[in-house]
Amino acid sequence: MKWLSRKEEFLLLAILKLRDNAYGVTIRRHLAEATGKYWSIGAIYDVLDRLVRKKLVTVRTGAPLAERGGKARKYYGVSRKGHEALKEVGTIHSQMWADFAEPATE
Amino acid sequence: MSSKSTDNLPRLAIWLLQRVVYYENREYAAGDFVELYRDMLGQGSPFRARVYLWLEIVRSLPGFVNNTVYWSFTMLKSYLTTAFRNMIRQKAHTVINISGLAVGFACSMLIALYVVNELSYDCFHEKADRVYRITWPDDVNTQPALAPTLQAVFPQVEAATGFANLRVKRVKYQDRVFYESPIRSASHEVFDIFSFPLVSGDTSNALKDPNTVVLTRSMAIKYFDDGVDPVDKMITIGDNDYRIDGVMEDVPENSHFSFQCLISNNSFGWYHENIWNRSWMATYVLLRSPSDVSYIESKLPELITAYIFNGNAEHDWRYIMQPLTSIHLHSHLRFELGSNGDFGNVIIFSTAALLMIIIACINFMNLTTAKSMVRIKEIGIRRTMGSSRRQLIQQFLGESMLMSLLAMVVGLILVFAILPEFYLLVGSQIGLAGISLWTVIAGLVCLSILVGLLAGSYPAFYLSSFRPARVMKGALAGGRTSSGFRNGLVVFQFVVSIVLLIGTFTVYRQLDYVQNRDLGFNKDQVLVIKNLEPDPLRSDALKQKLLQHANVVSVSNSGNLPGAENGRQAVQIEGTDATSLNVYSCDYDYLETLQLDMAGGRFFSRSFGTDTAGIILNERAVETYNIENPIGKRAMVNLGRIVLGNVIGVVKDFHFRSLHDPIEPLAMVYGIKKGWGINYVSIRFGTEDMAGTIQYIKEMWESVNPGLPFDYTFLDEDYNALYTNERTAGRTVLVFCLLAVVVCCLGLYGLSTFVIERRVKEIGIRKVVGASMKDIVWILSRGFLGWVVLAFVLAVPLAWIVLRHWLQNFAYRVDLEVWVFGVSGALALLIALATVGFQSVRAALANPVESLRHE
């Protein structure tokens, strides 16, 4: 299987971290805080959709909520396949980063 | 909490999200935005919250669009897969449907090729928008002094030139001699006005000096070997030598005038004489700006006053200015430089192309809708399983677009197959006229998608409108709303087909008649040499030499031959009024060579020395003069002042012109002595060893006339060339007839499938109750046969009017016979019967259990 892209990886990690409360707004907030970069709702849904298609995440629909104008939340969770994919990139990362050192300052 | 109107998303935002967000995510994404928005509302002013929301939405757009595009492609792939499966499952249906559309496409593409070519005339000149031709209101030719004067008088005229069509034809370089036509003259400005690129030489110097010439490439190749640069060589045209200033690319086919070479105007005496009282030049000007036209046009009468009438303004002469690019389609004056096209034809053909596409589309719709009955269950199941109406529509549109694209490919293959025949039809190898290949491809793809959408839209909306419950129960969607339209269409197609059938029969009958009618002379086995520079002594020497060959039957020197143009003269016979006669000049052997028959008296004979002063009339001339016994009477011209000679014989009428014209009165004179021209050497030869005989004739010609080109044709070919237009018409009608019949059959096939599919249950019940197969076939077919009969009734008067008009081109013609109409009608009926009958029989043979088991 193809490796996860950097975005997919970050999203999966964010979902993992947020546990039962992973939906559009929270995922975005978490990503923005962790990376210090701007993430648009549209960009998040694009990647989430890709993860759904690859069956790396599971989807659960919540109840309609008044504070969302009567609209429901779609909660995401990492599937087993998602875990494996994360583990795979994680292993590769640690192997590749093992010999990384700051350049010596003179 | 703020009120509902402010804390929800703005309508525009909802609308926007509806458009761009993939539908599965729409609700949730909208919810997310509401949540963000309310958060902001709680923190600050409503305005800031609004701005924030909009920023968020706008910045989200790329992500949403990306996602939606992905899904559209995925769906397209799925539709295409389904479409392919359906097409393969119904092979016959697919083949018929695609071929019908393909024929329509091919037809339209060919017509478009022709139309585009007609519209492209003279557009290749870079300054075409500023070039005008100045003519008289009825005549192209203007005075030689006009072009130089225009250029000198008007500062708005950047350049002007006149073209003269020169009579010289013979061109000689060293040992190579050919006749070239047309040869024109022009001044050096021609290269400023028109885009005629030089292959060799320099446009800034070309044609500036007297006695210079610019050759076209195809002409240069004939005289100069590869690698020899013709520039600055001397070439002989007529009797004068010219220096070659350059070689230009051949004049493109889509130019309204053409030439083999251009001689500089200042080579000729008339150029320096400032001639205003005679007209033989075609004058073209290049304006500095297109907006100067009206000014120049308004000033032209003053020019006429000043130069032609010496300042007297009382005249109504005027010039007109024609834009260069409009000449080919809109100008039909006397002495046009070539044969021009007709804008009316362009309109007619464009309409035909459009009609062809529309008919093909409607036939396609009929067939698809008809076949939908088979798929009605599939649709029902799809809808029950939750397929939305929109998805169904998309699927059907996808299918029809795929069909349409395939049909376009098949159509292109057809076009390439027909192209050689098409070139014959239009008489030239027309190209894409400078339109780039990519534009064409893009255009064709767009067209097929458009046709796919149009043709697929009706079945798509019709099919998707079925209610699942009713469909599953087996009830067919009712509605005979468009059946009148459908039937009308089939009638229309049959009218066209029947008219074309009758037309094809009649045109070919007339051509057959024209070719086989006894012309009064024998046009076969006669070789004709065109002798443009005749000399009586050499002609006689040639005759003697030719007659020595065993296979040469007879040789005649004459000024005229059947099929060629000839002069007329007012001739008076003793005791009658003068009549305009066609005058043929010939020699002793003319009668034998052409195998004419005498009605009385004798032909010119060597045994009567006075016969050289004699004259022979044809029977029609004798009738016209209304004289009992013309032989021995004196014939005079110039109001009786000059005696032409005595009538020595009457020749039987022969068709010396094409059968378009009635036989006219004719006088034949012995022309050799009078120097009336002996422009043709006609040689009747036997059937043996044609190649050897021609070789012998060529050798003799060259030994007698060294330096003159051996330019020969055959009399029958020359004569038959008079019917080129009719043969083209015949081929065109035949091709369109075949296409119309094919399209018509497809239309009828579609309609009959449609109708029969609807009546499957009825047929089943009839069979159960005891109807025979014959009964059922009759019941199913009779409606269609009625339509064909109606079409026939409409077609007959139409065909009769059109064909009577066409036949009036001929003085000698076949009658419009009843059997032609009968046969055409019967043929149409037969075709209809075959198309419908096949379907009816199949329906009649079907087991009623199949069609009724659901009841």
Tens of pLDDT along B51-81? Answer: 888 888 888 888 888 888 888 888 778 777 8
Sheet harboring B712-714: ordered strands across? B552-558, B680-685, B526-530, B712-714
Instruction: Establish if A36 belongs to a structural domain.
Output: yes
Q: What is the pLDDT of residue A103?
A: 81
Q: Do A71 and B34 touch (CB under 8 A)?
A: yes
Over residues B46-53, the mean pLDDT reads 85
Asked whether residue B563 is assigned to any structural domain, the reply reads yes
Provide mean pLDDT across the span B141-152. Answer: 92
3-state helix, strand, coil split of chain A in percent (to 5) is: 60, 10, 30
Give dist(CA B262, CA B212) in Å, integer: 9
Most confident range, picked from B245-254, B354-363, B367-376, B460-469: B245-254
Phi, psi of A63 (to 5 degrees): -85, 150
Together in a domain, B174 and B223: yes
CA distance A50 to chain B (A): 9
Residue B497's nearest CA partner among B786, B747, B749 is B747
pLDDT at B602 over 50: yes
Residue B227 confidence (pLDDT): 84
A106 within domain boundaries: no
- CA-based Rg of chain A, rounded to a whole angstrom? 16
Instruction: Tell me the three state secondary structure of residue B287.
Output: strand
Residue B364's closest CA among B353, B356, B374? B356
Give the rounded distance of the alpha carbon of B457 from its chain centre: 33
Indicate if B157 and B46 belong to the same structural domain: no
Distance from CA of B61 to the nearest CA of A (A): 6
Q: Distance from CA of residue B280 to its chain's centroid?
A: 30
Evaluate whether residue A104 is within a structural domain.
no
CATH at residue A36:
1.10.10.10
Closest by CA position to B186, among listed B157, B203, B163, B209:
B163
State the Cα–Cα distance between residues B83 and B85, nearest whole angstrom.
Answer: 5
Helices (H), B324-342: 327-330
Q: How many domains does chain B have?
A: 4
Looking at the structure, do residues B680 and B577 belong to the same domain, yes or no?
A: yes
Predicted local distance difference test score (pLDDT) of residue B483: 65
Q: Does residue B115 fall inside a structural domain?
A: no
Q: How far apart are CA B283 and CA B276, in angstroms?
A: 13
Determine which helix (DSSP H) or strand (DSSP E) holds B148, and give its type and residue range. Answer: helix B146-153
Q: Which residue of B has its CA nearest to A71?
A: B31
C-alpha B556/C-alpha B654 separation (Å) is 18
**Structure-block tokens of residue A5:** 């892209």
Q: What is the mean pLDDT of residues B329-343?
A: 83
Q: Is B416 exposed, middle or buried (0-12, 13-18, 19+ CB in 10 A)?
A: exposed
**Cα–Cα distance list, B782 to B370, B395, B514 (Å):** 19, 36, 41
Residues 6+ apart with CB under 8 A from B52: B36, B37, B40
Q: Which residues of chain A have pLDDT under 50?
A: none
Q: Which residues of chain A have a CB within 8 Å of the CB of B28?
A: 23-24, 45, 71-74
Distance from CA of B379 to the nearest CA of A (A): 27
A24/B7 CB distance under 8 A: no
Task: Name which of B97, B764, B762 is nearest B372 in CA terms.
Answer: B97
Q: Do B59 and A24 touch (CB under 8 A)?
A: no
Residue at B454 is within a domain: yes
Domain of residue A74, residue span? 6-97
Residues B357 and B302 in one domain: no
> Which helix (H) or strand (E) is B7 found in, with range?
helix B4-7
With a cut of 70, say whether residue B813 has pLDDT above it.
yes
Residue B763 shares a structural domain with residue B839: yes
- Is residue B98 in a domain? no
Q: Is B89 inside a domain boundary?
A: no
Residue B735 shares a structural domain with residue B697: no
pLDDT (0 to 100) of residue B153: 92
Are B624 and B557 contacting, i.e. CB atoms less than 8 angstroms apart?
A: no
- Residue B619: inside a domain: yes
Pairing between β-strand B526-530 and β-strand B680-685 as defined by DSSP bridges: antiparallel
Contact predicate B398/B86, CB 8 Å: no
Distance from CA of A89 to the nearest CA of B (A): 25
Helix (H, G, I), strand (E, B) or coil at B677: coil
Of all residues in chain B, the one with the smallest CA distance to A43 is: B63
pLDDT at B432 over 80: no
Average pLDDT of span B502-523 = 88
Between CA B499 and CA B793 the distance in angstroms is 11
Query: Chain A residues with CB inside 8 Å of B59's CB?
Result: 38, 40, 42
CB B301 within 8 A of CB B317: yes
User: Does some domain include residue B330?
Assistant: no
Lowest-confidence region among B210-224, B244-258, B565-579, B648-662 = B565-579
Residue of A38, A12, A24 lying closest to B29 (CA atoms): A24
Assign residue A69 a region: left if phi > 0, alpha if psi is -120 to 50, beta otherwise?
left
Nearest to B32 among A24, A38, A43 (CB): A24
Q: Please report whether residue A16 resides in a domain.
A: yes
Rounded to the nearest 10 degrees, the angle between the axes of helix B773-807 and helix B760-769 is 130
pLDDT exceeds cutoff 70 at B219: yes
Query: Among partner residues B22, B24, B33, which is closest to A41 by beta-carbon distance?
Result: B33
A-B contacts (CB, under 8 Å): 82
- Smallest CA–CA separation between B28 and chain A, in Å? 6
**Would you tell me how many other CB atoms lie within 10 Å of the CB of residue B510?**
23
Residue B477's pLDDT is what? 46
Residues 6+ apart with CB under 8 A from B521: B562, B594, B595, B596, B654, B655, B656
Is residue B335 in a domain?
Answer: no
Distance to chain B for A71, nearest Cα, Å? 5
Which of B27, B63, B66 has its CB closest to that of A72?
B27
CB contact A32 to B (< 8 Å): no
Judge whether A48 lies within some domain.
yes
Same domain, B351 and B209: no
In a domain, A13, yes or no: yes
The number of CA neighbours under 13 Å toward the Cβ of B118 is 22
CA dihedral B445, B451, B452, B458 (to 10 degrees): 170
Token pair 């100008």 in the structure block, residue: B331
Cα A101 to its chain centre, rounded Å, is 28
Mutate: best of B19, B25, B74, partner A, most A CBs <10 A = B25
Mean pLDDT of B586-611: 89
Helix (H) or strand (E) holding B396: helix B389-426
CA-based nearest distance A55→chain B, Å: 16
Q: Are B440 and B577 in a shared domain? A: no
- pLDDT of B640 reads 66
Give chain A's domain count: 1
C-alpha span between B72 and B43 (Å, rounded)? 39
Is residue B317's pLDDT more than 80?
A: yes
Do B21 and A45 make contact, defined as CB atoms within 8 angstroms? yes
**Closest-CA residue in chain A for B55?**
A40
Res. B450: pLDDT tops 80: yes
Same domain, B562 and B697: yes
* Same domain for B501 and B360: yes
Q: Please report whether residue A81 resides in a domain.
A: yes
- Smallest CA-to-CA distance from A14 within A53, A52, A50, A44 is with A44
* pLDDT category of residue B690 using cuts at 50, 70 and 90: confident
Residue B475 has pLDDT above 60, yes or no: no
Neighbours of B606 (CB within 10 A): 10
Please tell me the number of Cα atoms within 13 Å of B732 on its side-chain side: 13
Instruction: Residue B26: give the domain boundaries.
Output: 4-75
CA distance B503 to B796: 11
Q: What is residue A105's predicted lDDT score, i.e. its pLDDT?
A: 67
Q: What are phi and psi of B267, to 5 degrees?
A: -75, -15
Chain B positions touching A23 (Cβ under 8 A) are 28, 32
* Each residue's pLDDT tens digit, B102-127: 988 888 888 888 888 888 889 899 99
Over residues B132-160, mean pLDDT? 92
Asked whether residue A102 is domain-assigned, the answer is no
Same domain, B270 and B193: yes
Strand ranges (E), B484-566: 526-530, 552-558
More confident residue, B368 or A90: A90
What mean pLDDT comes out for the span B194-222?
Answer: 92
A59 near B CB under 8 A: no
Length of chain B equals 855
Contacts of B77 in chain A (CB under 8 A): none
Strand, coil or helix: what is B323?
strand
CA torsion sign for B178, B184, B189, B191 is: negative
Contact list in A for residue B54 (CB cut-off 8 A) is none
The pLDDT > 90 percentage for chain B reads 24
The label of the residue with tokens 């939340």 reads: A73
Averaged pLDDT of chain B:
84
- The reported pLDDT for the residue numbered B645 is 81
Cα separation, B236 vs B744, whole angstroms: 60
Structure tokens at B705: 């006339």
Residues B555 and B503 reside in one and the same domain: no
Q: Can you tell me the mean pLDDT for B441-445? A: 88
Q: Is B333 helix (H, G, I), strand (E, B) or coil?
A: coil
What is the spatial distance between Cα B648 and Cα B612, in angstroms, rounded to a whole number? Answer: 10
Interchain CB distance below 8 Å, B64 and A42: yes
Which residue from B318, B294, B285, B279 is spatially nearest to B133, judged by alpha carbons? Answer: B285
Mean pLDDT of B243-250: 93
Whole-angstrom CA distances from B72 to A68, B445, B460, B805 are: 28, 20, 19, 58
Distance between CA atoms of residues B689 and B562, nearest Å: 26
pLDDT for res B479: 47
Please say if the pLDDT value at position B474 is more than 80.
Answer: no
CB B368 within 8 Å of CB B379: no
Residues from chain A contacting residue B65 (CB–CB below 8 Å): 42
Whether the Cβ atoms of residue B593 and residue B555 lie closer than 8 Å to each other: yes
What is the C-alpha separation between B205 and B199, in angstroms, rounded?
Answer: 14
pLDDT band at B161 (very low <50, low <70, confident <90, very high): very high
* Residues A97/A43, Cβ–Cβ less than 8 Å: no
Write out pLDDT tens, residues B751-791: 787 778 778 788 888 888 888 888 888 888 888 888 889 99
Residue B780 buriedness (CB in 10 A; 0-12 / 13-18 / 19+): buried
